[in-house]
Structure formats: structure tokens, C-alpha cells
Amino acid sequence: MNKWIRLGGWIALGLVVLWVVLEVVTVVVGIVSWVASTLVSLLVAAGLLYLAYLLVSKLVGGSGGSSSRSRSREREKIFE
């Protein structure tokens, strides 16, 4: 009888340990999935913002770097 009680105690302890391990794994997987979904959302938002920037820059007239270079060349011609 004592053997069966000891065996039942070990089985109960094993079930409790298994339950605790599963709870920890559930929390870790939840955190990892939240981080992954946040990163994917940020990457999608960054891609959409970049596409919007390209669209607006093409509609407005291109990059500002070339116009500033041409202005500096015009100023150099004025001072010559």
C-alpha cells in the first residue's frame, strides 16, 4: 500500500511540474509572438511610408539635392 501512495505522489508531482512547464512555455511563446507581430507591423508601416515618400517626391518634383546644386552653380556664375 505504501508503494502505491508513493507512486501516486510521484505521478501527481510529475503532473504539477508538467503543468508549470506548459504555463512557462505558453508565456514565452506569447511574448515571442507579440514581438514578432510588432516587428512585422513596423516593417509594413515603414514600407508603406517609404512608398508614400517616393510617390510624393515624384509628384512634387524629385529630390531637393539636385535643385540645391543647381542653385549653387547659379550663384557661382553670378559672382564670376
- Band of pLDDT at residue 40, cut at 50, 70 and 90: very high
Mean pLDDT of 2-31: 95
- Band of pLDDT at residue 28, cut at 50, 70 and 90: very high
pTM of the model: 0.57
pLDDT of amino acid 4: 87
Candidates 41, 19, 18, 21; CA nearest to 29 is 21
- The letter for the amino acid at 3 is K
The rounded distance, in Å, linking the Cα atoms of 61 and 56 is: 8
Is 57:63 a contact under the CB 8 Å cutoff? Answer: yes
> Locate cell 549653387: which residue?
72
- Band of pLDDT at residue 62, cut at 50, 70 and 90: low
Instruction: Among 24-28, 58-62, 75-79, name the one with the lowest average pLDDT.
Output: 75-79
CA count, 13 A, side-chain hemisphere, 41: 6
